[in-house]
Structure 1
């Protein structure tokens, strides 16, 4: 059930939270250099964190050979399942596909770029004892100046448009109660989906908490979030968002 208070509750973390059933959704676009390492790390970490778990890979029309790696990972593990877009549809579209396919009690959003540490999922799950969504924030971002500036501008644009949701709206490491996706209606195909999701969840009384997460330098591939077309699409979607009515 959604919690109707406005602030996370603090208390002793029960062991059962760490035994929750977890779906890890990994969106992919041209991550051939890091994909296998990232999925391998997630697969190794999950048995220690969740009694039941699955890894949901969503290939958003990659053109660099990531699709072949996805096929092999699915063939090698019964806990990995995959979905492919025939052509690139956007980050938001990849997330919507992954969220719809996730079947466990908790859904983790985790990127394929190798810039986050899956072992820190334990901390997010612990926060889940008193919150419905747990959003990571990168106090020290390991990005170039242009990407860091874009992120700073984007966070401020989001706050001007819909108010404060979290410190680091575009952080790719997040945790959600699965039931949330039965209550919200997501439409954004771009990075604005993070704003759309948190805005709708907050309006329905779901509790949002935040936790600092480690951010590492990208070792392979190229971030697509700084592409001008991607940015313009996200801005368009952000401007098109409507503030939902608050839960009574």
Structure 2
């Protein structure tokens, strides 16, 4: 999987739902970092049926920035579907997945680039603590479950810092509609023999807008999709042994 890590082509993909207060900064900081990191780049934002003017602001920005591509959903389809649509639309060799609420200093994206010569997937691990005890417990328990159930050797599966080679992403059997897709990407990459590296990255909790990541409905969806993934892999493994 041999891109030139010095001047790669990069797509930044981010989902957005009701992020009018955050999206302009997220897009502009992404474009600025890409300009300094490579010659061939794009930012792909998938608006997941926003109702707060996010879509209109993105369309206006796309008229001003040729490297910005906007995909619109006609309704809210959840995080996993939105991220999958962004991945499918991305056209560059390296794909960087992050969120539109500015969870990182975009300059830190560059830390992953030289590692892509040796690895297929660079995953970020949060350095800063979550903003609430509820989120701390949720993150710790969820990551422990993933490690115990699947033997995945990562500390932070659902941090919005992931750089992946496009040729690997295209092979991943991603089905999740919700937030389990973060873990699913890592699990699928491991299953296919992808070389995965985890690096520490400073995390900045959102200061504007509202997060729903730790809501009961989101957590229930994650548990449901985790169970479906386990069954899918179990049956696929059984079928392959029989054939």
For normalisation by structure 1, the TM-score amounts to 0.89
Among candidates 54, 59, 72, match of residue 66 of structure 1: 54
Q: CA deviation at 1:157?
A: 1.8
CA shift digits 1:39-77 (9 cap, x unpaired): 111111111111100000011111221111111121111
Local SS of the residue matching 1:19: coil
| Aligned 8 A contact 2:103 2:160 in 1 | no
* Candidates 34, 38, 41, aligned match of 1:50: 38
Q: What are structure 1's unaligned runs of at least 5 residues?
A: 3-13
Structure with more helix by fraction = 2
Q: Which has the higher contact order (CA 8 A, sep 6+)?
A: 1
1:234 is matched with which residue? 222
- Quote the Cα distance in structure 2 between the aligned partners of 1:18 and 1:150: 38
Q: Which residue pairs with 1:197 in the alignment?
A: 185
1:214 counterpart = 2:202: yes
Are positions 1:135 and 2:151 aligned together? no
**1:89: Cα distance to partner?**
1.1
**Deviation beyond 2 Å, 4+ runs, structure 1:** 242-245
Give the equivalent residue in structure 2 for 1:7: none
Equivalent position SS for 2:91: coil
CA contact (8 A) 2:128 2:204 kept: no
| Paired residue total | 233
CA distance in 1, matches of 2:183, 2:103: 21
TM superposition shift of 1:93: 0.6
List gaps (5 residues or longer) in structure 2. Answer: 238-243
Q: Distance in 2 between matches of 1:87 and 1:157?
A: 32
Deviation digits for residues 152-198 of structure 1, max 9, x if unmatched?
11111212321224110000011000001221121101111112111
Give SS of 1:241's match: helix
Find the residue that maps to 2:95 and give its secondary structure: strand
Alignment of 1:106 with 2:82, yes or no, is no
Query: Which 10-residue stretch deviates more, 62-71 or 18-27?
Result: 62-71
TM-score when normalising by structure 2: 0.91
Superposed CA RMSD: 1.6
Who is 1:5 aligned against?
Answer: none
Query: What secondary structure does 2:47 align onto?
Result: strand
